[in-house]
């Protein structure tokens, strides 16, 4: 099937609950969480979307309901075409979504990152654990309520902990707020910097 409109129409014909989603680039559909994997399987096996580009999530805000939306970006290597599928998590406090690893093994790391940073648990995932933050880290840093400067927590790393003199540090990045210079300058100079970068100075310099 060569026309992306045909693919979206096919999804809506087979899954009447699928609705068109506003999108500035690629066609997008919103589907119920209970049908998400079935829709993804249909797109892969019957519509030629064989490549999973990304799995991510949106935190609309702590006051929104539904609060979390999981998003899959699919690509057809044969046509080529893109399509975006989204599904709202039913539980705002403990968001869950079925794993797509049953269709694409590559969903493994995407879902681990989404769990780590957004707190969306993917049921049925073969090894759902943090991928960037350490095991036991109590927060999900990309949630809307997480401050840019981080939150105090214990750093369990035996190698790094002595460098901060057993202080309770903020993670993932201390030193905020972050500011950017204005006016004419190179992009590297305009990159936001922490007002307090003393946390970085404690780290040993490469090849020192």
Q: Quick one: 67 and 164 in the same domain?
A: no
Each residue's pLDDT tens digit, 64-92: 999 999 999 999 999 999 999 999 999 99
Pairing of strands 96-98, 121-123: parallel
> Strand ranges (DSSP E) for 60-196?
68-76, 81-88, 96-98, 121-123, 151-153, 169-171, 178-179, 193-194
Judgement on whether residues 43 and 106 belong to the same structural domain of the protein: yes
Whether residue 174 sits in one domain with residue 108:
no
Prediction pTM value: 0.76
Structural domain boundaries, residue 26: 4-123
In this structure, the answer to whether residues 117 and 19 fall within a common structural domain is yes
In a shared domain, residues 119 and 65: yes
Domain total for the chain? 2
Task: Judge if 164 and 107 occupy the same domain.
Answer: no
Claim to verify: residue 101 and residue 172 sit in the same structural domain = no
Does some domain include residue 144?
no
| pLDDT tens-digit map of 14-42 | 999 999 999 999 999 999 999 999 999 99
Quick: pLDDT tens for 113-166. 999 999 999 999 999 999 988 888 899 999 999 988 788 877 666 665 565 554
Structural domain includes residue 113 = yes
Q: What is the CATH number of the domain that holds 50?
A: 3.30.460.80
């Amino acid at each position: 099937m060569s026309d992306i409109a045909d693919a979206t129409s096919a999804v809506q014909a087979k899954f009447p609950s699928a609705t068109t989603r506003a999108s500035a680039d690629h066609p997008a559909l919103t589907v119920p969480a209970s049908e998400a994997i079935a829709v993804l399987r249909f797109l892969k096996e019957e519509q030629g979307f064989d490549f999973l580009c990304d799995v991510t999530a949106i935190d609309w805000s702590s006051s929104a309901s539904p609060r979390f939306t999981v998003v899959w970006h699919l690509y057809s290597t044969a046509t080529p075409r893109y399509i975006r599928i989204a599904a709202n998590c039913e539980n705002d406090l403990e968001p869950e979504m079925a794993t797509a690893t049953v269709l694409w093994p590559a969903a493994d790391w995407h879902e681990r990152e989404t769990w780590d940073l957004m707190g969306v648990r993917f049921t049925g995932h073969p090894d759902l654990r943090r991928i960037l933050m350490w095991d036991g880290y109590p927060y999900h840093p990309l949630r809307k309520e997480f401050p840019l400067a981080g939150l105090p927590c214990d750093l369990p790393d035996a190698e790094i902990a002595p460098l901060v003199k057993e202080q309770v540090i903020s993670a993932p990045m201390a030193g905020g707020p972050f500011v950017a210079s204005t006016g004419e300058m190179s992009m590297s100079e305009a990159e936001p910097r922490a007002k307090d970068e003393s946390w970085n100075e404690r780290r040993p310099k490469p090849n020192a």
